A and B are shown apart, each in its own frame.
Chain A
Amino acid sequence: MVTAKTAAAIDRMKRRIEDMGVLSISGIRKEFPGVVALDNVQLKIRPGTVHALMGENGAGKSTLMKIIAGIYQPDAGEILLRGQPVTLKSPLDALEQGISMIHQELALMNSMTVAENIWIRREPKNGFGLIDHGKLFAMTQELFDRLNIKLDPKAQVADLTVAQKQMVEIAKAVSHDSDVLIMDEPTSAITEKEVEHLFTIIRDLRARGVGIVYITHKMNELFEIADEFTVFRDGKYVGTHSAKDVTRDDIIRMMVGREITDMFPKIDCPIGEVMLEVRNLDLPGVFHDISFQIRKGEILGLAGLVGSKRSNVAEALFGVTPAASGEILIEGEPVQIRSPREAMDHGIAFLTEDRKETGCFLILDCLENIQMALITRDHATAGFVDQKTVTKLAEDMAARLRVKTPNLSERVENLSGGNQQKLLIARWLLTKPRILILDEPTRGIDVGAKSEIHRLITGLAAEGVAVLMISSELPEVLGMSDRIMVMHEGHLAGFLDRAEADQVKIMDLAAR
C-alpha cells in the first residue's frame, strides 16, 4: 500500500518535471540605467523541443539569454534547472550546469586557430601539462565530421568569413553537450545552404533531448524549425504558443502590437541612365571577371552562397580592398577608387556586413556612430562640427528607423543588436549617396523596422539612387530587386530579371 503510494508520488514528480521543462524561469526582472530591459518575464523550455523566442529589436531577448547563460544577474526572479532552483554566477558556472549559448555577436579570438577557439579552457593536455595540439585537432575534426562541417581545424579564425565563423560558434556550443542550448540569431550571417545545415544539426540535437532556445527575426525559419514559441514585447511577456496553432500574422501582431501588411513595399520607379558600370573586375584568388551595370533608380540584388565572394566585390567597389584590375565607371566616367574616402568622394556609401568589426564604434555613443561618416565630408566649418544641425539630422533618422535607446548619448555597446544595425543604416543614409551598397542591410532587424528600411531603400531608388543590395535572405532579394545578379565562387553565375526570378532559379545559379 505504502509502496503504491510512493510510486504514485514519484510518478507525479516525474510528470511535474516533464511539465516544468528542463529550464523554467519566472518573474525575471532586469534593469539597466534608464531602461527596464525585462519586467516579470517567464519562459519554459521542454527537453527535446525547439523554442523560438520572438520580439522586436530591444524587446529583451538577448538580455534574458545572457541571464540564463550566467552573464548577467537578474534583479529578481527564479530560474529552475531540471526542477531545481539555481543561481548562475558566471558563464562557466552555466556551462558546468549544462547551459551553453551561441551569442548574437561573434566572439571568437581572431588570432587563434579554429580548434583552439572551440576547446578554449578545455584543451587536452600532454604529459608535460602543455596543450596536446595533435589531440586538439583530432577532437575538432571528429566534431566537424559529426556535424558535417567542412572547415580546417588548423585555420586561423581571422581568415574565415563571417559565415564560417558562425559555423565555428555553432560547433563550439554543440561541443559542450549541454542540456540547454541557446542560439541568439545564429542565421543572421549565413546563407540558405548553411541554414539548412544548421537545421539538420538542430533536429539531431532535438532528437537527443536537448532543449533549444532559438532567436530569429526570420519568420519562415520559425515555422520550419520551432515547436513552440514565446513572444516578448518591450521587456514584457506576451504569450507562449505552439507553432502549429498560429499564423505568421498572429505572431507579428503579438510582437509589434499592430498590423504590418506590406512586407516589401517596392515602388515601381522609372529606371534611368547607367550610374555605375563595372568591367572585368578581378582580384586574383578572390573574384574574377565581374562585369555589371546599375542604373539610376535600379536596385540590383546580389545573391550567392557563402564563399561566392559577394562581399569582396562590394569591398572592391568601395576601396576597402581595391581590385587588382578592371574598370569602374560612374556615369560613364572611369574612376579610380583606392580607399573608402575616394569612394565617398564619388558619392558611394557602403554598409558593411560585419557590424562589430567594420561598423560600430562600440564604446562611443549613438550620436557619434550615426554622424561619423557624414562629418568626414560635410557639416564642419574650419574643423568645427556643426553639431546642432548634425544632431537634428541624426535624431530624425534614428526616430524614423525606430532606434530603441534611452537617448542618443547612450553607448552603442548597450544597444540591442538590431538597434546597432539601425544606427549603421542611419549613418550611411545620412551621407546622401548616389550609389548605395548594402551588405546584409536588415541583418538582425525585426519585421516592423525591416519594412520601414525597405521603404527607405525603395524611396532612395525612386529619387534616382543606384542600389546594390547583397542579401542572404532570398525573399528580401526577390522582393526588393529589379534585377538579381548571382555569384558562384568568385565568378558571375548569371542575371535574373524581377519577373522571371524565383528562389529555385537563384539557388540553381548559386549552386551550379
Chain B
Amino acid sequence: MSNATVQPSANAAKSQRRLPPEANILLVLVGISLVFEILGWMTQGQSFLFSWQRLSIMILQVSVIGIISVGVTQVIITGGIDLSSGSVVGGVAMFAMSFAQVSTYARAVYPSLTDLPAIVPILLGLGFGAVVGFVNGWLIAFTKIPPFIATLGTMVTVRGFAKWYTKGQPVSFPTEGFASIGKGMMPVLIFIAVAIIFHIAMKYTRYGKFTYAIGANMQAARVSGINVERHLIKVYVVAAVLAALAGMVVAARGQTAQAGMGLAYELDAIAMAVIGGVSLSGGRGSIIGTAIGMVIFGVIISGFTFLRLDAYYQEMIKGVIIVAAVVADVHRQKKRVKKS
C-alpha cells in the first residue's frame, strides 16, 4: 500500500474484514439463550431450548409484532418513529373483521355484507393502514412536525376510531377464508415472507437506499435528487400497511376483534428494532438485525415464563430491556462521535 491510490476491489481482501454488526446481536441471542438453558437445568431440571413446543409458541407470540417491527425498522432508519402501529392493529382488526363476518351470525356489523371472499376485508384493511400511513407521512414531510408528535396524534385518533366503530362491541365470527390467515403457523410464515421481501428491498432497491440516505443526512439526500417528502410518505405508508396486516392476523387468529387490541404493540415493535441494532438516530440498522432482535425479545419473554416468573415482573423487565437497548445505542453513538 505504498501508493496513494488504492484500487478498491484489489485490496478488499487484504484489509481486515470487519464482522457485520448483526454478528454482535446474534452473539447476544446465543448468550441469553444459554443463560436460560443453564437456569432451566438448575431450577426446573429441564432444557429450555430443546422443546419444540416452547419454541413454536415463542416464535408465534413474537411474529405478529415482528411484522410491525419490519415496518417500524424502516421508519426508524429514516430517523423517525411510528407510535401509531398498535392503534392501527386495533383499528384495522375492527374494520377488516366487520367485512369478514359469516352470514350465519345474526348480529353482523353489516348484515348485507357477509360471506365476502377473504380478499375484500384484507384489501380494505390494508387500505385503511395505507390511509393512516399517508396521514403520518404527509404530516411529517410537509408540516415538518416531529414524527413523535404526528404519530402520537394518529395513535390516539385511530384508537378512538376503533372504539367508536362498533361503540365498543367486539366483532366476531369471521369466514373460514379470513380466519385462515391467522391459523397454525401462518403468522410465522407471513412474518418470514415480509422479512425476506423487505430485506431485499432495503438492500438492493432504490427504496432501501433512499431510506438509509434520508436517515444518514436528509439535506444531502435532497441535494442528491431524492424526493425526500414523497419518500417519507412511502415509508410511513409501508409501516402502517404492515401494522394493518399484523392487525388482521391477530384478529383472524383469535376469530374476534376488539377495540383494545394491539395496545402498546408499537413499543414492543420499536424495542425489537432497537435490540436488533437499529439506531434511533437514523441511517443504521437492518431487517436481519430486527429479526434477531425479535427472537431475543421472544426468548426473554418465554424464558421468564419458563422460569415461572410472575407476569408483573415480566412487564417490568421488558421495560428494563428496552431502556438497556437504547442505552446501548446511545453508547454506540458516543463512541462514534469520539472516534471521528
Q: Is the CB of B4 within 8 A of A320?
A: no
Q: How far is the CB of A252 from chain B (nearest CB, A)?
A: 13
Q: If A373-B224, A376-B226 touch, does A406 touch B209 (CB 8 Å cutoff)?
A: no
Which B residues are CB-close (under 8 A) to A409? 12
Within 8 A of A (CB), among B183-208: 204-207
Given the interface contacts A358-B219, A364-B212, A368-B213, does A376 sit within 8 Å of B205 by beta carbon? no
B289 to chain A, nearest CB (A): 15
A450 shortest CB reach to chain B, Å:
13
Name which of A210-218, A239-247, A284-292, A397-405 contacts chain B.
Answer: A397-405
Contact with A along B305-335 (1 / 0, CB 8 A): 0000000000000000000000000000000
Distance (whole angstroms) from the CB of A388 to the closest CB of chain B: 11
Interface, chain A (partner B; CB < 8 A): 33-36, 56-58, 71-72, 234, 256, 318, 320, 339-341, 344, 350, 352, 357-364, 366, 368, 372-373, 375-377, 380, 383-385, 387, 395, 398-399, 402-409, 413-414, 427, 448
Q: Would you list which residues of chain B between 30 and 51 have a CB under 8 Å from chain A? A: none
| In the complex, B9 has a CB within 8 A of chain A | yes
User: Are the C-beta atoms of A34 and B15 separated by less than 8 Å?
Assistant: yes
What is the bound-complex CA distance between A230 and B15, given in angstroms? 29
Inter-chain CA distance A385–B281, complex, in Å, is 26
Q: Which residues from 1 to 48 on chain B have a C-beta closer than 8 Å to any C-beta of chain A? A: 1-2, 4-9, 11-12, 14-16, 18
20 CB < 8 A contacts A-B: A33-B15, A57-B4, A72-B339, A318-B223, A320-B222, A341-B225, A358-B219, A359-B220, A361-B216, A363-B283, A372-B221, A372-B224, A376-B226, A395-B8, A403-B6, A404-B4, A406-B14, A407-B12, A407-B15, A427-B224
Report Cα–Cα, A413/B205, bound state, in Å.
Answer: 24
Structural contact, A361 and B217, CB atoms closer than 8 A: yes
In the docked arrangement, what's the CA distance between A376 and B223, Å? 11
- Output the residue of B210, B212, B225 with the most chain A CB within 10 A: B225
Indicate whether B56 reaches chain A with its CB closer than 8 angstroms: no
Q: Which of B206, B212, B340 has a CB less than 8 Å from the CB of A375?
A: B206
Whole-angstrom distance between the alpha carbons of A98 and B284 in the complex? 37
Q: A487 to chain B: closest CB distance in Å?
A: 22
**Does B4 contact A402, Cβ atoms closer than 8 Å?**
yes
Q: Pick the most buried of B9, B220, B226, B284: most chain A CB atoms within 10 A of its CB.
A: B220
Give min CB distance, B14 to chain A, whole Å. 8
Q: Which residues of the other chain, B, contact A376 by a CB distance below 8 angstroms?
A: 206, 210, 224-226
In the complex, the answer to whether B206 meets A380 with C-beta atoms within 8 Å is yes
Q: Are B8 and A399 in contact (CB under 8 A)?
A: yes
CA distance A398 to B7 in the complex (A): 8
Known: A358-B223, A360-B220, A363-B216. A398 touches B8 (CB 8 A): yes
Q: How far is the CA of A350 from the CA of B206 in the complex (A)?
A: 21
Q: B167 on the interface (CB 8 Å rule)?
A: no
Q: C-beta contact mask, B95-119 vs A, less than 8 Å → 1, else 0?
A: 0000000000000000000000000
B227 within 8 A of A: yes
Is the Cβ of A373 less than 8 Å from the Cβ of B15? no
A375 and B205 alpha carbons, distance in the complex (Å): 10
What string of 1s and 0s marks CB contacts (under 8 Å) between B156-171 and chain A? 0000000000000000
Q: Tally the A-B contacts, defined by beta carbons under 8 Å.
A: 128
Known A339-B227, A368-B212; 9 more pairs at CB < 8 Å: A36-B1, A56-B4, A320-B222, A340-B224, A357-B217, A361-B213, A385-B206, A407-B6, A407-B9
Contact present for B216 and A408 (CB under 8 Å): no
- A362, B217: Cβ atoms closer than 8 Å: yes
Q: With A33-B15, A364-B213, A407-B12 as known contacts, state yes or no: A399 contacts B225, CB within 8 Å.
A: no
Q: Which residues of B contact A380 (CB under 8 A)?
A: 205-206
Docked-complex contact A35 and B5, CB < 8 angstroms = no
> Size range of the interface on B?
35 or more
Q: A361 touching B11 by the CB < 8 A rule?
A: no
Q: Is B216 a contact partner of A34 (Cβ separation < 8 A)?
A: no
Instruction: Give chain B nearest CB distance to A189 CB in angstroms.
Output: 17
Tell me the complex Cα distance, A430–B217, Å.
Answer: 20
Asked whether, in the complex, the Cβ of A360 is within 8 Å of the Cβ of B217, the reply is yes
Known: A340-B225, A376-B224. A35 touches B8 (CB 8 A): no
User: Do residues B216 and A71 form an inter-chain contact, with CB atoms below 8 A?
Assistant: no
CA A427 to CA B12, docked complex, whole Å: 21
| Among candidates B209, B338, B340, residue contacting A368 with C-beta atoms closer than 8 Å | B209
Residue of B nearest to A376 (CB): B225
List which B53-83 residues lie within 8 A (CB) of chain A: none
Q: Which residue of B lies closest to A412 (CB)?
A: B216
Q: In the complex, which residues of chain A have a beta carbon less than 8 angstroms from the beta carbon of B14?
A: 34, 406
What residues of B have a CB within 8 angstroms of the CB of A361 in the complex? 212-213, 216-217, 220-221, 283
User: Which B residue's beta carbon lies closest to that of A382?
Assistant: B205
Rounded to whole angstroms, the CA-CA distance of A375 and B210 in the bound complex is 10
Asked whether, in the complex, the Cβ of A375 is within 8 Å of the Cβ of B217, the reply is: no
Q: Is the CB of A403 within 8 A of B224?
A: no
Cα distance, A98 to B220, chains bound together (Å): 37
Contact A383 B213, CB 8 Å, known A256-B4, A399-B7, A404-B6 = no
A358 and B1 contacting across the interface, CB-CB below 8 Å:
no
Whether the Cβ atoms of A406 and B206 lie closer than 8 Å is no
Instruction: For the complex, give the distance between the alpha carbons of A357 and B219 in Å.
Output: 7
